[in-house]
Amino acid sequence: MNWLTVKNTESVKSAIRGYKFIFKMTRLKETYNTKVKEKLMKELKMANIFAVPKIKKTVINVGVGESIINKKAIEKVQEQIEQIAGQKSVVTLARKSVAAFKIRKGLPIGVKVTLRGDRMYLFLDKLINIVIPRLRDFRGISPKSIDQHGNLNIGFTEQTIFPEIEYDKIDKIRGLEVTIVTSAKDKEQGKKLFEMMGIPFHKDTI
């Protein structure tokens, strides 16, 4: 997981507070349909436009291990993630019991949101153009964050990097993970898609 660190929280918030998304068809979706798809088809030497890699969904996930002793933690995280995503969240449950951590099967241990369609593109537009560029000492995302199926995993140490979250109204700082799932066949296809969509990578090898 590639954990990234936030710049000064207040400077980030003031810089992005006025950022609004007003297009029914987001500019990122339009960019993919009018520019990226055709260019990617040529670069990957594909004959069928329908085979060109695309972003299928984006999953935002937060682990809430403290819910074992703090029953209200899940509710607070749900509220924050729903503000960030603009969509109702789902509580994730433990799949098995882990005695060492006092976790029982079926216990609420996290919160996630799965975004598709226009809401997904709106979120990615915000992520690419506002959130990622304002990370502390940011030099690009490691290509190693792309898995063998061409999906990208990005970890953030603070939810306050997102413009919807007001620092003085949260109960505590929490990290979250964003997974961008694609139809790419491998890492190389995934990386080319992400680069054309505007996600900045540094020069690690995949």
**188 in a structural domain:** yes
**79 in a structural domain:** yes
CB 191 within 8 A of CB 53: no
**203 in a structural domain:** no
CATH of the domain at 126: 3.30.1440.10
Bridge partners (DSSP) of residue 60 are 113, 178
Statement: residue 108 has pLDDT above 80: no
- SS3 at position 91: strand
**205 in a structural domain:** no
Contacts of 133 (CB under 8 A, 6+ apart): 200
Res 199: pLDDT: 93
Range of the domain at 25: 3-196
State how far the Cα of 2 lies from the Cα of 201, in Å rounded to an integer.
12
- The pLDDT tens digits of the residues spanning 61-106 come to 998 766 555 678 888 889 999 999 999 999 887 666 655 555 566 5
**201 in a structural domain:** no
- The pLDDT tens digits of the residues spanning 15-65 come to 444 444 444 457 899 999 999 999 999 999 999 999 999 999 999 999 876
pTM of the model: 0.82
**148 in a structural domain:** yes
Report the number of distinct structural domains present in the chain.
Answer: 1
Average pLDDT along the chain: 82
